[in-house]
Structure 1
């Protein structure tokens, strides 16, 4: 569904009227185009004193062919061997130079006083970020900062403070730009490429104000970044329409054979999707008692197992709790929460998920902030976040990962049916001032699914344009 307000304020007439009367002006976001570079413009790279990620970031920027600038000349310890020959930018002599991305290594910040280095780097360039630009701050996972005693405590405090900085900057930067914080465990420097590629690219158009944690996996496969999922089998539940259809299409674009799953009444719609992308279609009631065992057996028999499992199937049955019948509560919990947990346990039990497998849940902002009339739905989606937390350590032992996306207001047929005033509020109550698209959720899932994301485990990332509702 088109956003007519957004179209108007970005028209010639709208651009004259909106600023004069104080109307919000949500920009058109730049999204991924096949064949486009990861970063289409200059990147300014900075590093706090004592930062450790400069060489790793330098190598990634060199590999993706970024035009890289620094404020103080070539970075220490590794820029040269990474093939990075950065240009030098100075706030005093930089002219009108603008940047598509700002990347700052904050891992060296170990006290509250040293947080001033954030101001020193970002203040001169805060207005030099291009429309649909990217800002990424890298820190050390607070619980894992090195040291002992008071020094360790001070460093942990300072690293946790980065969250407030990035979320606040995300609400200031404007023009469709996004801001993220990536916590990297002390031994996980070699695990950052997949995440940097995603967060610096237009694929993360509707992801902002998020915190990603990267741990050491011990695995760093060689990848074809054009088709990173080639040879993989991906199961997508609820794949016949909307977000599920976009997920299926995006995973297929990245090379996966997609097994789309939906209920029998949607079999025709499902087959159209899977035929279009060269996938397979199966119909199941995921809440049936024997569904997990049958599904695991079928995946093993037809495909030798599965590499990626996306638990997208979900329903809403909205009522105020005082008016909600027990069966309405039970339906939502069964589809949205019980089925993913039961299916995952059975797939793990039967070893139907191949090594380096990915399990991905679809939660919701309703599971973070709650929604009136959605006690059942909010409960189920918060449960999906808990499902990720509970399984993360267990699946890591099997060289698997589990993560979740939590979509906010996404433009689908379901949201198009929402009353106009509520729909407009949902669109505007975010830092990006608009609704997202199904492709935004799908791109985030494709990042999780990548073999390069082995260090990304136990995360829930909101795809909500930094919604102003919730944490």
Structure 2
């Protein structure tokens, strides 16, 4: 559904009226289109560690206009703050305040990225405090940025270099228009695995991907985005959605599989279809899901169980079949769609919140099971996304939900699809067991 308010306040008269009245002024976000430059404008790399030097050199090799010191009044496309060597909270002041002096020069739709180390493995209380302090700094900064700019962080494992493949993959994702609706988030790179693709516009070339719930909305956008990035796609949905499913599959030159994913043999049927029609299976995206909203006081067993069955129990069964199959052993990827309702909760969605929280638990516990054959499993957690379902919400509720994030607008199905496509790529081979929120930095809840 079109956000007419955002269009209005980005027009001449609407912009002036919104400014005079102090109304929210969401920006038109820079989203990815094939052939777009990675970032427009110079990239300031801030930091005095070896890791900062190495990252700056690599970005120069990508053909980016890299600065190690800001020039007065020069518009910056991005600011990357490398804090990989921070050992004490007292070490944060100089680099953080240096960033502050450059923020006024950050261009609309600019990017701020921190590169630091995970607090989970910090060797001392002081280093853990410093690393966790970066978390609070980054999330707070994201709420201060304007004009479509975003701030996100990359957390490195203890021995990983700033130029490890998946660290660079995450830098590319956060710099690009693919991350337009990802804001105030961290992505942990825990392994040196992964590699940058030979074609940045076709990072999934040669891959075979399955997308469940592909007939409409976010699922259709995921299927289209994976195809755009080079994958051959198997679109899966229930028989009742057969016509829509066929249209999606035909539009991306893929194949359609009509299947109720809650069937006990769903996993085996997915594997058989992919192998028989396309020779292999590399990527599975668990997108299919349902809602049956009621306050818990009015919740009946049927509503509760149907949501659990489709949204999490079916994924668990399918994953069991995938892990047991010899056709899913060549650096495979599983990406599940969770929800911010599974993180922060939502009134009237105790069943849905339980199922989507369950997805997060499943992802974290399954990650070690994927390691022996170079596989990864991750989740994305969308916030308010403009879909047919949200279009049916009462107007006042819909408008409020759109503005309750740092970007002051709803996301698009494409935004969820872009995050999934990144996590499905070889660039994210060192990222596993993670949950990436695609919510514009939702302001309510966790």
TM-score range, shorter chain: over 0.9
Structure 1 ranges of 4+ moved more than 6 A: none
Does the 8 A contact of 1:223 with 1:452 survive in 2? no
Structure 1 runs not aligned, ≥5 long: 72-88
After the TM superposition, which of the residue ranges 290-299 and 127-136 deviates more from structure 2? Answer: 290-299
| Separation (CA, whole Å) in 2 of partners of 1:219 and 1:272 | 34
8 Å CA contact 2:329–2:373 kept in 1: the answer is: no
Q: Alpha-carbon deviation of 1:10?
A: 1.7
CA offsets, 1:111-142, max 9 Å, x none?
01111023332111121111111000000112
CA deviation digits over 1:161-183, x for unaligned, max 9? 11100000000011111001110
* Number of corresponding residues: 443
User: 1:200 aligned to 2:175?
Assistant: yes
CA 1:10–1:451 in structure 2 vs 1: closer, same or farther (change >3 Å)? Answer: same
Residue matched to 1:442: 417
Q: How does 1:65-84 map to 2 (within 5 A)?
A: 65-71=63-69
Question: Are the equivalent residues in 1 in contact too, given 2:197–2:203 (CA < 8 A)?
Answer: no
Contact 2:78 2:112 in 1 (8 A): yes
Structure 1 range deviating more: 434-443 or 111-120:
111-120
**Superposed, which structure 2 residues align to 1:3-14 within 5 Å?**
3-14=3-14
Which residue matches 1:84? none
Aligned position for 1:158: 130
Q: CA deviation at 1:273?
A: 0.8
Report the Cα offset of residue 46 of structure 1: 0.7
Cα distance, 1:389 vs structure 2: 0.8
Q: C-alpha separation between the residues in 1 aligned to 2:61 and 2:418?
A: 21
When residues 340 and 142 of structure 1 are mapped into structure 2, their CA distance, relative to the original with a 3 A threshold, is: same
Structure 2: runs of 5 or more not aligned: none
Counterpart of 2:341? 366
* Residues 246, 137 of structure 1: alpha-carbon distance in 2 compared, 3 angstrom cutoff: same
What's the offset of the Cα at 1:396? Answer: 1.6
Match of 2:376 in 1: 401
Q: Which residue is equivalent to 1:102? A: 79
CA contact (8 A) 1:188 1:455 kept: no
1:290 to 260, 265, 272: 265
1:58 corresponds to 2:56: yes
Structure 1 residue 220: Cα displacement? 3.0
Q: Which moved more, 1:130-139 or 1:220-229?
A: 220-229
Does 2:244 match 1:265? no
Pick from 86, 89, 96 the counterpart of residue 119 of structure 1.
96
Q: Which of 110, 119, 140 pairs up with 1:142?
A: 119
Alignment RMSD: 1.4
CA shift digits 1:316-371 (9 cap, x unpaired): 11111111110111111111101111101111112332411110000001101111
Superposition TM-score, scaled by structure 1 size: 0.91
User: Is 1:424 equivalent to 2:422 in the alignment?
Assistant: no
Give the TM-score, by structure 2 length. 0.96
Classify the secondary structure of the residue corresponding to 2:343. helix
C-alpha contact 1:142 1:156 (8 A) present in aligned 2: yes
Counterpart for residue 45 of structure 1: 45
Contact 1:215–1:455 (CA under 8 A) maintained in structure 2: yes
Tell me the distance in 2 between the aligned counterparts of 1:229 and 1:415: 30
Q: 1:222 to 1:177 in 2, by over 3 A?
A: closer
- Cα distance, 1:188 vs structure 2: 2.6
